Structure 1
């Protein structure tokens, strides 16, 4: 079992704004990460959430302000209205699942590259050429885009069921071995502090 189970969505702006801080925190504490991409829209539907486009205008307006504020805090380039959002998150998620099984590159970097492609580079992460570029950039064989699609689909579905069963309702969402749950990139400092107490 991993020290941190990381549930995220390749279309989630808040997963993007986490950057690589999770990986830095895990390295600091010698912790392992299990990457679990999920279908965020399906997750909302299963856990009482509402897709962004269907929310009350006051929530939509607040989200727009908050995303810009959080992006400024992180220093990451950010486009509030990316050209290819929403898009089909399944192909990028399947590629991540294939990469995890392959194990030859940097999974954290791969996840962030998909998120950056969507939220900073105006690329469609459902497109094969974008997926291959992200795989290659993270040290994986681009051909992984074509492999393990059945396993990818099964794992993607299983990740959703696990997320619902374990109390996940948004992304990014982090669960430690002792079942402490942290929702949002703005809770990474809390996760960091908690991991420190586990080692004490």
Structure 2
């Protein structure tokens, strides 16, 4: 079992804003990460969340303010209305699943490249060429984009079921092996503190 189970969606702006902080925290504590991409819209429907188009205007307005505020605070480029959003999350999620199974590359870097591609680089992360480029840049075989599609689909669905069973209701969501839960990129410092205390 991994020290940190990381539930995320490859289109989540909040997962994008996490940058590489999870990976740096894990390295600091010698912790392992299991990457678990899932279908965020399906997660919302199963846990009482509200899809973006159905939210009250005041919530949408605050979301826009907060995303821009957090991006500025973190000094990260950010486009509130990217050219290719929303798009199909499944192909990039399948690529992450295949890469995790294959090993040998920078999995955190792959996840971040998909998120950055959407929210900062105006790329369509459902496009096969984009997926292949991201795989190659992270040190994986680009052919992983074509292999393991059945396994990817099965794991993607299983990740959603597991998330619901374990109390996940949004992304990014971090669960530690001792049962502690942290929701949101703005809780990474709390995750870091917990790992420090657990290892003391």
TM-score bracket for this pair, using the shorter chain length: over 0.9
Q: Which residue of 2 aligns with 1:167?
A: 167
Q: Which residue of 2 aligns with 1:53?
A: 53
Q: Name structure 2 gaps, 5 residues minimum.
A: none
- Which structure 2 residues correspond to residues 6-155 of structure 1 after superposition, within 5 A? 6-155=6-155
Q: What SS class does the counterpart of residue 135 from structure 1 fall into?
A: helix
Q: Which residue of 1 aligns with 2:156?
A: 156
Distance in 1, matches of 2:65 and 2:102, equals: 39
Distance in 1, matches of 2:107 and 2:38, equals: 15
Aligned-residue RMSD, C-alpha = 0.4
Q: Which residue of 2 aligns with 1:194?
A: 194
Distance in 1, matches of 2:67 and 2:51, equals: 16
* 1:78-126 superposed Cα distances (whole Å, 9 cap, x missing partner): 0000001010000000000000011010100000000000000111100
Q: Which residue of 2 aligns with 1:4?
A: 4
Distance in 2, matches of 1:113 and 1:31, equals: 22
User: TM-score scaled to structure 2, two decimals?
Assistant: 0.99
Q: Which residue of 2 aligns with 1:184?
A: 184
Deviation at 1:74, TM superposition (A): 1.0
Distance in 1, matches of 2:197 and 2:83, equals: 42
User: TM-score scaled to structure 1, two decimals?
Assistant: 0.99
Q: What SS class does the counterpart of residue 86 from structure 2 fall into?
A: coil
Deviation at 1:76, TM superposition (A): 1.0
- Count of aligned pairs between the two proteins: 200
Distance in 1, matches of 2:142 and 2:124, equals: 16
